[in-house]
Amino acid sequence: SNTDVFPYHSTNQPMVGRWDDGVGMFSVTQGAATVRFLALESGDRLGQVPWETRTFGLSWLQQLTPAAHLETRVWQADFRTTMPRGTDSSGWALDNGARQFGAASQLTVGGTTVGTSLEGMNTHYAVTAVSRPSSDTSTNSRPPLDLRANPTILTAFAEQRWGEGNDRWQAQTGLRATGLLGGTLFLEPRLAVGVRLSNALTATIGYARTHQFIQSLRNPNAPLSTLIGIDLPVAAGSGGVPVAQSDAITAGVTAQMGSHVRLALSAYVRQLAGIAIADPTSSALFAGRGFDSTDGRAAGVGASLAGEVGGGRLTWQMTYGVGRMRYSNPAIETLQASTMSQAVTASLAFHLDHLTQ
């Protein structure tokens, strides 16, 4: 969410797409310990661009004292796609895949949380069967891309929370140090402040710096780009792929409309640096012979309406968001300045009992 800048989680989100094939989750509680297991599988094996993802996760939550608990998580996420020659007009074929696996642990005592994580990646992005596409004469002298990397990411963080749920003022501050093993260390400060304007109205504002070690070389300007709906991951450090940085300022207002309905409005402004992009003047679906690095600026607004019926047995939520992206590269600016993205989601959940939903 654009307004929730805490808590710290994995450095990169698991690369999963539509939940088409299956979702499984169960939890077991014994005394002060809770263990949860999650398995997700999705993909599209019959479409023009076949792809699949699998994600597995295990978490263990141990209540040490009434004011302290320890949480440990392990996970693995896999993604794979193949685009045969003739998928678009470029004449290129692509074999792209990524695996993320890691472990993280965090200790919370009162309003203080400290933690660390170790994450490994294995990515490959291999372009083959390259013809001489007339749409990409500017990069025709370059060899096909073959990007492979096995980076390891180390992260440590600390955060402090002031105020409780019913207090008029609440604040959270945090600092995370993260980076590739043997590479540059990046510092990520964060700050969030909330104020209860009335019993039914709360306002928040926050700032967060983040870094991303996996980027996508899908061309958003290609005619087929919006139809496949997946990213094409490459890891930082492979073939000059940079580490992307984001500085975001967020603001939001939440209003309780009666006892069963809640309305939330949010907005964000994000300054971006080190974005890897495919050639925007090409009609190819993905970067074939090279890519560029640029800076950018993003902004957006969103609204969410949520409620419950029957004492919480039936819950629902509807969201709408619109955003706009601008790049600092003049050639890209010409194509992207007037382009806006929109998203609409709706969800409904029915709770059968205290163990099933």
pLDDT tens figures, 71-111: 999 999 999 998 888 767 677 899 999 999 999 999 999 99
> What pLDDT, on the 0 to 100 scale, is given for residue 309?
87
State how beta strands 233-235 and 146-149 pair. unpaired
> What pLDDT, on the 0 to 100 scale, is given for residue 205?
97
For the chain, the average pLDDT equals 84
Alpha carbons 314 and 106: distance in angstroms, whole number: 33
Buried b (16+ CB within 10 A) or exposed e, 187-220: ebebbbbbebeeeeebebebebbbbbbbbbbbbe
Does residue 20 have a pLDDT over 50? no
- The number of residues making up the chain comes to 357
> What pLDDT, on the 0 to 100 scale, is given for residue 353?
65
- This prediction's pTM: 0.81
| Range picked from 106-120, 127-141, 342-356 for highest mean pLDDT | 106-120
What's the average model confidence in pLDDT over 194-201?
A: 93
> What pLDDT, on the 0 to 100 scale, is given for residue 19?
36
More confident site: 107 or 22: 107
**Exposed, middle or buried, 28 (CB in 10 Å: 0-12/13-18/19+)?**
exposed
Tens digit of each residue's pLDDT (9 = 90 or more) over 310-356: 777 899 999 999 998 888 776 665 555 445 678 899 999 887 765 54
What's the average model confidence in pLDDT over 153-170?
A: 92
